[in-house]
A and B are shown apart, each in its own frame.
Chain A
């Protein structure tokens, strides 16, 4: 759905549901996922429908994903970190860290 204006600085790698994605240091996790064509960030706890980010500034909470085992992370507010394991959040998500 989105393309990058520049592709010469994609030096960071994160993983989404196990799949490696190259991204730019400074990208938010949400931007990295959208640039990779990912639309289903999470499914809702109520009806199980797919959601992708709506506001991109921390208000809508539709970009919630699991990052390195922690559920409920706002992908639009978390910068990418080399090697991060990001998973789509299904329903209420899992809390591996607990």
Chain B
């Protein structure tokens, strides 16, 4: 990291998880002048968060996080050796179609011009808008895992994990190993891993290890006598913080006390930048999420911009590294470091791995439906955490005739708060689609505008390296040839 901001590079990569690290390492090895920007202080993304420090210490934490986590170190080491420049603690607040990046680091904003951009912004936990989910003491299961990886923090008061998907069980297992007082798991997936696992056996040949791993997590919970309920229609109870979680199981309502409630209904692509670029997006019915349309190299409908890893559709950490390398090969080819023939040749092993991963992903998608996140919201459930707008209030707006998602945004203020719609976009669209009895494609998504990360106006006013023609236009409108630098 240098203090003078770099104003040009051949390839800019946004995000330091497996896709970004693999892309940056390979691109730099192929002679492409590469900069990787990341919001975190150290490389690894969320999946391999803090991997370097945690690998140096051989303590309780390494054992808790396990072997799959430890595999991330090789990616980080290859990245560190590759010669790619690295800008940690950097927020990318704009990417333009012309390859301009707005970056904010150490309280200063600056612009960098890139010949090509690979977005590796990864995934975020799908928001779970149940009644009471804004109360202190309610977090994502992934959030608890992040605290463990980044700072060695584990819950010390009665904890309940509620949700669907492998991460819910993995976090349960890790908390148990860490000696956290895990009182119960509420499985909201409504399908058993056994049933779907056996039904899917033909496509799962070769994934015995992964399947067994999932089953062994559940066996470990059983052995530790941690109750696993099948539940739906969750609600958080509490006045100033969470006191309990209630849910329906076998037709009855049950209540469990909890000091910490960890929710998880899978992960969705972090699309903020591609949405602000107006890249073409595709509604993924299996994953119940929007993803940017990409070609087989990760290239989007915006010429200079590619997406790699979970940001282009959820396929997991192993696949993310391969997708990162494909995007890097394509970038190196476009920039002229390798021929098309070399690009295609080098892509073959990456593609073989990806085809394999895709089969397992299809199985996971069909097994773990994000039931709680996609059912009809209770009227009192808060849809937009920032502006505190409930599903009932949204429905009242729809009944008054506000049937366009951006109109609904303007009038309800959903999506106009600090998080810029990250937490409510999917929910508001779903409430609207359900009210209008239409589909998510018809409803569409918020019109997002830069800056995609909030930054103080003072930073914009003092853009570190601003030559006049490098400044973004006030409206953030792009594609105007007169703005080219």
Contacts and interface: CB of A to CB of B under 8 A. Distances in A.
Interface string A24-45: 1011100110110001100010
Interface stretch (B76-84, B130-138, B331-339, B373-381): B130-138
B388 A47 contact: yes
B153 A55 contact: no
Nearest to B455: A72
B470 interface: no
A61 B386 contact: yes
A92 to B, nearest CB: 10
B386 A5 contact: no
A6 B150 CA distance: 12
Contact of B60 (A1, A5, A35): A5
Contacts of B240: 49-50
Q: Which of B40, B42, B419 has the most CB of A within 10 A?
A: B419
B192 interface: no
Nearest to B240: A50
B434 interface: no
B348 interface: no
Interface stretch (B1-9, B29-37, B154-162): B154-162
Interface stretch (B140-148, B228-236, B315-323): B140-148
B248 interface: no
A1 B143 contact: no
Interface residues of B, number: 51
A59 B270 contact: yes
Which of B41, B89, B418, B458 has most chain A Cβ within 10 Å?
A: B418
Interface string A3-17: 111100000000000
Contacts, number: 125
A46 to B, nearest CB: 4
Contacts of A50: 136, 240-241
Contacts of A62: 134, 385
B136 A51 contact: yes
Contact of A72 (B138, B139, B153, B454): B454
Given A49-B134, A58-B39, A59-B422, A3 B154 contact: yes
B162 to A, nearest CB: 14
Interface in B453-484: 454, 456, 458
B151 interface: yes
Interface string B34-68: 00000111100010001001000001110000000
A62 to B, nearest CB: 7
B380 to A, nearest CB: 13
Contacts of B39: 58, 77
Interface residues of A, number: 39
A6 B50 CA distance: 15
Interface string B112-143: 00000000000011000000001011111011
B259 interface: yes
A56 B139 contact: yes
A61 B422 CA distance: 10
A51 B155 CA distance: 18
Nearest to A77: B39
B388 A1 contact: no
A77 B417 CA distance: 18
B156 A31 contact: no
A34 B388 contact: no
A54 interface: yes
B260 interface: yes
Contacts of A77: 39-40, 89, 91
A26 B53 contact: yes
B200 interface: no
Interface in A56-96: 56-62, 64, 70, 72, 77, 79
* Residue from B39, B151, B156 with most neighbouring chain A CB atoms (10 Å): B151
B143, B154, B241 interface centre (most CB from chain A within 10 Å): B143
B387 interface: yes
B386 A2 contact: no
Given A50-B241, A59-B423, 17 more contacts: A5-B153, A6-B59, A26-B150, A27-B151, A32-B151, A35-B153, A51-B136, A53-B139, A54-B134, A55-B140, A56-B139, A57-B46, A60-B422, A61-B417, A61-B419, A62-B134, A72-B418
25 contacts: A1-B155, A1-B157, A1-B259, A5-B59, A5-B61, A5-B152, A5-B154, A5-B178, A6-B152, A26-B150, A27-B151, A28-B151, A34-B153, A44-B386, A52-B139, A54-B134, A54-B139, A54-B385, A57-B142, A60-B385, A61-B419, A62-B385, A70-B107, A72-B456, A77-B39
